[in-house]
Structure 1
Amino acid sequence: MKLGVFTVLFSDMPFDDMLDYVSSKGVEAIELGTGGYPGNAHCNVDMLLTNPQALQQFKQKVEEHGLVISALSCHANPLHPQKKIAEPANQLLEKTILLASELGVPVVNTFSGCPGDHEHALYPNWPVTPWPHDFQEILKWQWEKKLIPYWKEKNDFAVAHNVKIGLELHGGFSVHTPNTMLRLREACGPAIGANLDPSHMWWQGIDPIEAIKILGRENAIHHFHAKDTIIDQNNMNRNGLTDMTDYSEMRDRAWYFRTVGFGHDVKTWADIVSALRLMNYDYVISIEHEDGLMSINEGFTKAVENLKPIMVKESITEMWWT
């Protein structure tokens, strides 16, 4: 396994300075945003795709710092009902897959997207209850007319370029649980898998270790984020897990993100690492920092310090004791 970081938290740093900083912390891999919600501070897709010299220099700088690129990430909503939003997201995803192929990066991370409830809708519609039955009709239409056709095409596009797609299981998007992940994968193809982030499992009431087992048995974990969540039970009792309180109003939220080890103890994170190895995931654990109680430097540093001692670096070749 390698310890990595999603570098969007260092968007204010020039590329070279970011590489110097993260490598000095002992990080071995970087996940780079190419646009969409993460932005593209460190990875300009259009420039790199059209300038072979710049592409070579880009790769060389990463290698000189002893780093690998674990994934390119373009989180957005390519199924947004407004074409002015969906089409740029779609184009970005395709360009990111092309760039990943050029760079030899095996995974592109994004969201599944969430459509509206009919062809002329203006905003996404995220059904989260089976009744009244209107929601079932919306869900059926979304999957049959939008999600499956779109992602079947993208699965084939990714396969043609030797790249996998890691969908982050995130509330507000159609794929947000292990079940919805496997449903889409079965319908569209094995290039579609999860960029599994335990922070989004915890607030949905899903045990991340069990999610790892469910997805791991199907070889459906393509990438992994390291981010924590804390549940404020008093606020949960008031607001429920689909809490609409603004992220900035942390005192009043039912849950909020923490850096690794500050929502759940290190033993829990050690169990997560062990579950990943049990399910044959031996790739990158990529730190994502969205902790509203810590600076970028402190939150990132503490995540590194908490994860380093529990990372599994060497896999056995045989069980000598049996």
Structure 2
Amino acid sequence: MKIGLVSDSLAHLPVAEVIRTAAELKLDCIEFATGNWSTAPHLDLDALLGSAAARSTLMGMLRDHGLTLSALNANGNPLHPGDTGQQHADCLHKTLELARLLEVENVITMSGLPGAPGDRFPNWIVTAWPPETQTILQHQWEVAQGFWRETAQRARDNGVRIGIELHGQQLAYNLPTFLQLRDITGEVVGLNFDPSHILWMGGDPLAFIRQAGHMIYHVHAKDTLIDTVNRATATALDNRPMTQSRERSWSYVTLGYGKPEPWWNAFCYTLAHFASPDLTLSIEHEDMNLSRMEGVIKSVNLLKRTATMEKSDYVLPAI
């Protein structure tokens, strides 16, 4: 396995400092954000698309520090019924083109979420009742089908693959909805697997890996703390701001502060066994209570103890 870093985890640092820090932490790679829900503080998407020299400079900085590029991240909502939908779609499509130019295999994004017919805002359907929920879902998947069929072809044309990050307020947020999306796109679309999202929604990431292993193309290393006292009354569907971590039923935390280290041993081992021992674990720091640098350092140290770093060379003894 390789250990990497989502660049927005250190969004307060200039790109040279992010790269230097990753090298000092002896990481293998970086995943850079290109726009949409990120301000993309480290990359200028249009400048890189338009300048071979700019692309060469970026890749040279990585190479000089012994690092590679694991993915480009264009997380957003390209199916938004308002003006931002087209903007996010354009950013994603440009990111696919840049991935080809930079010779990086993975582009990370989310499935997006339309509204109900005539809505100005997305509408996340999480229940089967009342009956209008099914009408809304039918409309949403019709919208998604056209967009994702075209976008999957763009990925194939650029020789890259897309890793969908399952998340709340998205059309694809669990395994059944992801499989529905993949029926549209084919194998060019896989998973950017983030266990923290599965945890807060009440799922089991280890069971998820066993079922979806071959479809996992990239991994975000992020943890979730479940506050069992708050969750008992608020349930998992807690829409209060993330800053209210004392009151919320769950919060994103630094690795090891939600699930203990033995769980992360099992997570990495299950990934290696059922998915691939060559996956990248890209650290995504979103802990409201730790500094960005401390959270990244603690996460790196945990993964270096739990990830499977070398290929197996075990041979059964002769009988």
- What TM-score range do you get, normalising by the shorter chain? over 0.9
Partner of 2:77: 77
2:101 matches 1:106: no
Give the Cα separation in 1 of the matches to 2:149 and 2:291: 40
Partner of 2:239: 244
- 1:46-67 alpha-carbon deviations (Å, 9 max, x no partner): 0011011111111111111111
Give the Cα separation in 2 of the matches to 1:146 and 1:242: 26
Partner of 1:287: 283
Q: 1:28 to 1:253 in 2, by over 3 A?
A: same
Q: CA deviation at 1:233?
A: 1.2
Number of matched residues? 317
Q: CA deviation at 1:12?
A: 2.1
CA contact (8 A) 2:152 2:189 kept: yes
Partner of 1:173: 170
Q: CA deviation at 1:320?
A: 2.6
Q: CA deviation at 1:280?
A: 3.5
CA contact (8 A) 2:37 2:76 kept: yes
- 1:168-226 alpha-carbon deviations (Å, 9 max, x no partner): 1000101110111122112221111111100001011110011111111xx21111000
What is the letter of the counterpart of residue 299 of structure 1? G
- 1:269-312 alpha-carbon deviations (Å, 9 max, x no partner): 11111111112421200000011111111111110111101121
- List gaps (5 residues or longer) in structure 2: none
Q: Percent of pairs identical after alignment?
A: 35
- List gaps (5 residues or longer) in structure 1: none
Partner of 1:19: 19
Partner of 1:215: 212
CA contact (8 A) 2:10 2:293 kept: no
Q: Any idea what SS the aligned residue of 1:149 has? A: helix
Give the Cα separation in 2 of the matches to 1:280 and 1:208: 12
Give the Cα separation in 2 of the matches to 1:11 and 1:293: 16
Q: Any idea what SS the aligned residue of 1:223 has? A: strand
Partner of 1:122: 120
What is the letter of the counterpart of residue 120 of structure 2? L
What is the letter of the counterpart of residue 113 of structure 1? G
Q: 1:182 to 1:317 in 2, by over 3 A?
A: farther
Q: CA deviation at 1:318?
A: 6.3
CA contact (8 A) 1:116 1:123 kept: yes
- 4+ residue stretches of structure 1 with deviation over 3 A? none
Q: CA deviation at 1:235?
A: 1.0
Give the Cα separation in 2 of the matches to 1:267 and 1:212: 17
Partner of 1:191: 188
Give the Cα separation in 2 of the matches to 1:287 and 1:50: 29
Partner of 1:134: 132
CA contact (8 A) 1:197 1:225 kept: yes
Q: Any idea what SS the aligned residue of 1:250 has? A: coil
Give the Cα separation in 1 of the matches to 2:216 and 2:207: 13
Partner of 2:95: 96
Q: CA deviation at 1:319?
A: 4.0
CA contact (8 A) 1:236 1:253 kept: yes
2:271 matches 1:276: yes
1:154 alignment partner, one of 144, 151, 155 = 151
Give the Cα separation in 2 of the matches to 1:279 and 1:259: 25
Q: CA deviation at 1:244?
A: 0.9
CA contact (8 A) 2:106 2:163 kept: yes
Give the Cα separation in 2 of the matches to 1:26 and 1:39: 26
Give the Cα separation in 2 of the matches to 1:261 and 1:67: 25
Q: CA deviation at 1:317?
A: 5.6
CA contact (8 A) 1:229 1:255 kept: yes
Give the Cα separation in 2 of the matches to 1:40 and 1:126: 26
Give the Cα separation in 2 of the matches to 1:26 and 1:293: 25
For normalisation by structure 2, the TM-score amounts to: 0.97
Give the Cα separation in 2 of the matches to 1:311 and 1:9: 20
Give the Cα separation in 1 of the matches to 2:206 and 2:157: 32
Give the Cα separation in 2 of the matches to 1:34 and 1:207: 30
Partner of 2:301: 305
CA contact (8 A) 1:155 1:190 kept: no
CA contact (8 A) 2:20 2:65 kept: yes
What is the letter of the counterpart of residue 153 of structure 1? E
For normalisation by structure 1, the TM-score amounts to: 0.96
